[in-house]
Every structure is written in structure tokens, then in C-alpha cells.
Structure 1
Amino acid sequence: MPRTGRRPGPGGTRDKILAAARAQFGKLGYERATIRGIARAARVDPKLVLHYFGSKDGVFKAAMEFPFDPAEAIPQLLAPGVDGLGERLVRFFIDVWDSPAGARAHALVRSIVASDEAASLLRDFVRREVLARVAESLEVPDPQLRAGLAASQLVGVAILRYIVKVEPIVSATPDELAAWLGPTLQRYFTARDGDHRGLPGPGHARGTDRRRKRPARSA
């Protein structure tokens, strides 16, 4: 018996593609996922994926539903130079998370706890779209590591402020958070090797054993 009722409209097709894209990117990662694979999972023609999103990068960003476009926001934050970058990043992220658009970001963070695919999707997005852009602007050793450490601070505060809701972090103003966290991020961005203020240096982080050897006991 033939099916009755209306065929899925453009909105339904787009949603199917996005659902398939999230599954493909989460399972395979950005590099291995393909337009054809996404189209196959969504049961649509690959040309339809390109029609809606233009490219693999386009469907990847749309699948994330991130509350801002890093391609626009990160260059604007970097434009004034590295001086003050720590506080600018903190203020920007807190403002985004506090806004109505931040609700999607809250949902993303909640989802990574319960879903390996969601964690993989968010990890690839942050690595490609946020950390890589920040790291390119840093003229210091280990820029990727430094950008990753800065991101760990921002994500940690987001979890405590919006998901777990720990006081007094919840009630702290954006200015207060920027004043406390900004200098920490700034040190990640600008500290030279050997200027870690008592923290283990890069050699220690890579597994170098710098413990002082005990003198051998005499027989």
C-alpha cells in the first residue's frame, strides 16, 4: 500500500543531514568523515549535502550548532595583539555562555559526559576551529600545548559555573572572572621556557626525570 501524507520538507531533510553528520563526525573524526558517507547515512544525494552546507567544513560547523563562529570571533579577539589576550578571551567566552545563545553550549558540555561520539565531535571542533587559530598567533614554543591549557581553564570554569553550578563561581561577575583567570591564560600565551614561576618546565611535562638521585649507600 503506498505511503500517504506529506513528504519531508526542506527543514526535515536538513535535520536528517545534520543528525547523520554528527554521528559520522563523532564516530570517524573530521579527517575520515566524508560528504558521501554523511549523505549515505542520511539517505540523500551528496549534492543535497553540498546544496545545504557548501562543503564538509560547512556541514561540520552546522552540526556543532556552536553559539558563535570561531572563523569570525577568534581573529577579532586576536587583532589587538597578544597583550591582554587572556582577559579578552575570558570576557568573550563568559559573555557568550551567559547569553541566550549559550544554552546550546551548555547542552554540548552535558552531552560529552554521556556520549563518546559527542565528546569526539566537540574535541575535533575545538581543536580545528578554536585552538589552531589561537596557536597560530603565538610566537612562543609549544603553541598548541599553551592554547590547549588555556582551553582547559575556560571549559573547567564553564562546567563549574553552568553545569555543576558551584558557588561563588556562579555568582561571580564576568569582570571578576576575567580578573582572576585572565593572567593565568596570559601566562600560557606569553611565558618563555624557564619562566614558569615554580611550575614544572616542558622537559618535565614530556617525562624527563629531574629528581635528584640519592647517593649510594656504603656497604
Structure 2
Amino acid sequence: MNPAQKPLVLIVEDETDLVTLLKYNLEKESFRTAVANDGEEALLLANEQPPNIVLLDWMLPLMSGLEVCRQMRRNPKTRDTPIIMLTARGEEGDRVRGLNSGADDYITKPFSPTELVARMRAVLRRATPGITEETLSFHDVTMDLAAHRVRRNGRDVHLGPTEFRLLRHFMQHAGRVFSREQLLDIVWGHDVYVEPRTVDVHIRRLRKALNEETEVDLIRTVRSAGYSLDANSM
């Protein structure tokens, strides 16, 4: 696998020995790693290069892991990024607080690196079903998830971030019809208020970028139901 296509893990941890252990084990398991030693650095790095998954320590200098998690969930770039909290706090109330702040999973120190990697892969599969695939394909369209590139019939298709997320979701669930409300939840997120008609605007942009005059329109509009990716849409 090309190194650029390996999932990127942001390790947010201030214990040097643990960072070294995590980097060694994750890179051995074909992950790329980036490291932040405090919460402010974590938010900066995640905004500059959104990772595929975050390992987030609860107790950090400058800003707690809980607050980092909350701020990542408010940032459109990292809103959907899987987050696993790492902490010595094992009480049920602490686990609930961690999950309520937006974490996807919670693992208590000390932990087995093998278990951690297994939990990471499970969270990645749930959050982004295509993450274990280098490319998605449908009809004459290919999507390179790592390079963030889409091609149709050999030509590059230039998409904005929202159109890219829409197409990725459609390609992962080809043939299935999704309502505007479902697409809003999946692509924009549960906590962001967006008018349902906004979906129509981005669908039009996706169609314009994806379809040239002689090509089949792959986006099917289902009246009173929503949209789907369908090669027989015309």
C-alpha cells in the first residue's frame, strides 16, 4: 500500500513513553501517525490535516480531552472523525461523560496494543465503511479515497468537499434511495441545522461535475423519496 493511502491516526497524548509505544504499534499495523502533546496543538493539527481517527487522552495540558472532543465535533472538518478516548479513569460515570462529549469509544489505561488496534479498526469500519478500501468504483466512476480524487471515463471530476462526501456515500450504498433528511444527517451531521433544500443545491452541483453531455446521469431523483446512485437512472 502506498504510504499516503494508509489511514492517518492523530495521537493526542503528553506521556512520551506512551506516544513511542503507540507510534511503534500503529505504524507496524499500517497506520500513519501524527502526534500532538496538548489539546491546542491537537485542534490545530486536526484542522490543517483532518485525520482518519483520533486517539485522545483525557488528561492533557492546556485543555482537557473532553473539551478537545467537543471542539472537534463543532468543527465541520472534524465533525465526523472517529475519536477514541484513552484514560486512566475507568468509572462508569467517566465513560459516560467521555461518550457524551462526542467520543466513539473509550479505552482504559493500561491497555493492550492489540486490543486498541482492534477497537480502532471496528470504529473505522462503523464510521467510514470505505476506509479499508483504497478506491470505490461504480459504473464508469472511480473514487480514490486517500488521494481525494474522482475520475469518470478517464477524466478528472472536480468536486467540492460536500459533493465529495455525497458521492462517497452514494458509492458505498449504490442503488439505495436516501431522503434529504437522511443525507443531511449523514453528510452534514446531526448537530448542524441546514435547510433540506440545501441537499438539492449540492446534488445539482454533483450532477454538473459528474455528468458531461453524452454521459448517463448517475444520480436518480425519486419523487417524494430522495436520491440514489443508479446507472439506469435515465
Structure with more strand by fraction: 2
The structure whose Rg is larger is 1
Higher RCO (CA < 8 A, seq sep 6+)? 1
Give yes or no for TM over 0.5.
no
Q: TM-score, normalised by structure 1?
A: 0.29
Q: TM-score, normalised by structure 2?
A: 0.28
Structure with more helix by fraction: 1
